[in-house]
């Protein structure tokens, strides 16, 4: 385990980043693909769980409700895992 990690001096981006691509038109004009970058950013934030956390923070939930939601989420994950296994392995 290294306590003093050497940072790569050429790597400029740390954390979550999204790059905006430059796209050329038929005429040769370059435009920025901002909509694509926003779409990628939203996917990354969803995977990170930011939107779910914001939803949870908007209102107070009791301990029992939290447990019920966690149990239901676990069941959904298990069902998805079984479906994936069924497709891949056939059982």
**pLDDT for 46-78, tens place per residue?**
999 999 899 888 888 899 999 999 999 999 999
Q: Please check whether residue 8 lies inside any domain of the structure.
A: no
81 vs 43, 69, 71, 72, CA distance in Å?
Answer: 21, 18, 15, 14
Together in a domain, 31 and 50: yes
Together in a domain, 51 and 66: no
Together in a domain, 50 and 76: no
pLDDT of residue 61: 87
The domain total for the chain is 2
Range of the domain at 74: 62-91
Q: Please check whether residue 55 lies inside any domain of the structure.
A: yes
CA 32, CA 23: separation in Å to the nearest integer? 6
pLDDT of residue 33: 82
Together in a domain, 67 and 48: no
Together in a domain, 21 and 34: yes
**pLDDT for 23-54, tens place per residue?**
787 888 888 888 888 999 999 999 999 998 99
Average pLDDT, the chain: 84
Q: Please check whether residue 3 lies inside any domain of the structure.
A: no
């Amino acid at each position: 385990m290294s306590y003093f990690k050497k940072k790569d001096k050429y790597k400029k981006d740390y954390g979550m980043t999204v790059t905006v691509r430059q796209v050329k038109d038929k005429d040769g004009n370059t435009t920025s693909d901002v909509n694509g970058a926003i779409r990628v950013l939203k996917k990354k934030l969803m995977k990170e769980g930011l939107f779910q956390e914001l939803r949870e923070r908007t209102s107070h939930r009791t301990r029992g409700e939290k447990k019920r939601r966690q149990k239901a989420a676990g069941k959904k994950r298990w069902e998805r895992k079984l479906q994936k296994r069924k497709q891949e392995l056939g059982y």
